[in-house]
Structure 1
């Protein structure tokens, strides 16, 4: 694909979405709260579509969230942090909610994603909130009480914006008015994938001399929502090496690094520094992951994607599997057979669909902002 042509068509296709304040001359004050690493990309892509808004940003210290907020160009204030210790984490969420209630910027409307802290703080301050989520896992896993509580808190938002595949009853059954839940035809990842501009020189940074590669990311085995006896990644890596398939392997932790032990280093590359996930998805022959986000990112740019997520899947993942956009299996040989079956026509990334979804979400957001400030 001609990258420069794709980029040019992107700029021509994307138009700024006016808020009501732009038409009447005064800016809307928008407070954006970033609580997790995926949020900077999503909200930068979204707020860049809104004209004549004055954006104030707060960020929680959680893994790479702060540096990523810097990377995308947000000016922000850091408020609160996430804790690795489970006991401290329980305290950290209400503590940060209180901090936001006191110190959040004055705003006409608050924007957040999967973030009950911002919703509750905005409610306490009398600020309308627009909340974005795509995780409805408690609709499928009844014993996850923490997830059920989180959905009860998310239901307190003035507006919830969700993909059409989302099980909206997890919000309406927990207090949200059905008129406050708004759907769009696409997925959250479309919003930021749509403005991605691929670097054609990116593969030169990998030690494969320009040869094709796949990406492998392991399961989050320590997460409460994951039910698995172990990882299938060692079998995937060993099988890929046997078949001569080059792999960029992205361990989640030091424990995951051992999965590559004994696998020929000329086939498996474990980067010492973080690599751009969207660049990997664009240039890879296939994206393989034990979780959801990277598979969805690849699928929405029409790169072949494999999920080997070991537990009950949220509805957006299941929808993409049912639609054939993501291949799901827990069998390493079956997965590698799928990778080898891909043709060059299968591996042709494209952003046209993502751009359409981004425009739809931007227009919906502008309408909700208008409604909030009327």
Structure 2
């Protein structure tokens, strides 16, 4: 029996933890799952019926991030007392603990732009698993040249781990009282992440949401921070009162089910846009930096669109005027590589090596 520890900091990472935990049971691997009290992490873990313990919170200013990180590391030491291998999408707190305890580390990453996190984590990892779409030269910025061969590339993206296991049911849109294609899903940017220094884009998103609402669509919005939710209530309060705008809380909705049935998905990050495009739903990402995974998906002909600033309104217009509401992506997606097996095999290899 192998005891693996996964630390989930975001909803995306919670999905990775869920897939690995469920798939590893037949591999004689038992997962300990910890998380940070942030965003929709606990909702996702709860949706899969997993046991977990949330420790600590997300810092905002550089000093606050440092203080919260140190506090969280000390707290995690009391929670995770015995494990054979650590896996995470570059959790600085967890990887520091695993390194300090001499445990092997599998780091998953697709965010080459997350400079501070990568500097703190990738040099300490024993194995790094990343999409092939990201050039090896990008990882060389963080990893000593003598260790670059510890990067294991796969021809796909992490979102395939749950896209390949998803079947639309309509249950989540039913809970919201919505019908397929009559609504858009909107997700705010990660404005206070360590890598995000592009200025607040909330005003742009409010404009986009208003445009969609005035066309008669419903909108489901997912703010990341309290100030974003307050802005929605202040600027779009009438639509909230009319029931045309929805901010779900505590409903354990399946984001994939929402994306599958949506007319359009818009996000300031990447995960929801990638999920939607893989499912065949038109998606817009207004993340203001070049992203290799976006290029990869667009090159495959998937319905992902990039924009910065006012050109988002032009792209929005063209999508909503189009008769194409959904694309069959099954043939394209079937040719991509799901990294689940690679992650599990790397965990087992590192544990076997450490036990010799």
TM-score, normalised to structure 1's length?
0.78
Gaps of 5+ in 2: none
Q: Does residue 28 of structure 2 align to residue 52 of structure 1?
A: yes
Report the counterpart of residue 21 of structure 1 in structure 2: none
Equivalent residue for 2:182? 212
For the Cα contact (< 8 Å) 1:249–1:270, is it kept in 2? yes
Residue 98 of structure 1: CA displacement?
Answer: 4.1
Q: Distance in 2 between matches of 1:47 and 1:288?
A: 30
Q: Which runs of 5+ in 1 are unaligned?
A: 1-26, 139-146
Change beyond 3 A, Cα 1:251–1:148:
closer
Out of 235, 249, 260, the residue aligned to residue 236 of structure 2 is 260
Residue aligning to 1:238? 210
- Per the alignment, residue 257 of structure 2 pairs with 279
Q: Equivalents in 1 of 2:317, 2:51: separation in Å?
A: 46
Give how far 1:103 is off.
Answer: 4.9
268, 289, 293: which one aligns with 1:316: 293
Instruction: Identify if the C-alpha distance between structure 1 residues 353 and 137 changes in structure 2 by more than 3 Å, giving closer, same or farther.
Output: same
- Report if the CA contact (8 A) 1:31-1:105 is conserved: no
Contact 1:159 1:180 in 2 (8 A): yes
Q: 2:315 aligns with which of 326, 332, 335?
A: 335
For 2:248 and 2:339, the matched residues in 1 are separated by 36
Q: How does 1:26-37 map to 2 (within 5 A)?
A: 27-37=1-11
Do the aligned residues in 2 keep the contact of 1:119 with 1:154 (CA within 8 Å)?
no
Q: 1:84-130: per-residue Cα shift (whole Å, max 9, x none)?
A: 56533211213333444565232222111121222221122121111
Aligned to 1:116: 92
SS across alignment from 2:159: helix
Matches within 5 A, 1:174-253: 174-176=142-144, 177-207=147-177, 212-223=182-193, 225-228=196-199, 230=201, 231-252=203-224, 253=228
Counting only pairs closer than 5 Å after superposition, residues 89-168 of structure 1 correspond to structure 2 as 89-101=65-77, 103-137=79-113, 147-148=115-116, 150-168=118-136
For residue 48 of structure 1, give the secondary structure of its aligned residue in structure 2: helix
Distance 2:88 2:179 in 1: 42
Is the Cα contact below 8 Å between 2:181 and 2:261 reproduced in 1? no
Q: Is 1:172 equivalent to 2:140 in the alignment? A: yes
Q: Does 1:293 align with 2:271?
A: yes
> What residue is the counterpart of 1:7 in the other structure?
none
State the SS of the aligned residue for 1:337. helix
User: TM-score, normalization: structure 2?
Assistant: 0.81
Aligned length: 337
CA drift of 1:172 comes to: 2.8
Residues in 1 aligned to 2:39 and 2:221: alpha-carbon distance in whole angstroms: 19
* Aligned position for 1:4: none
CA displacement at 1:228 relative to structure 2: 4.0
Deviations 1:224-264 (A, max 9, x none): 51424643223323332443344333344323313424669
Partner-residue secondary structure (3-state), 2:11: coil
Classify 1:264/1:223 alpha carbon distance in 2 versus 1 (closer, same or farther; 3 Å). Answer: same
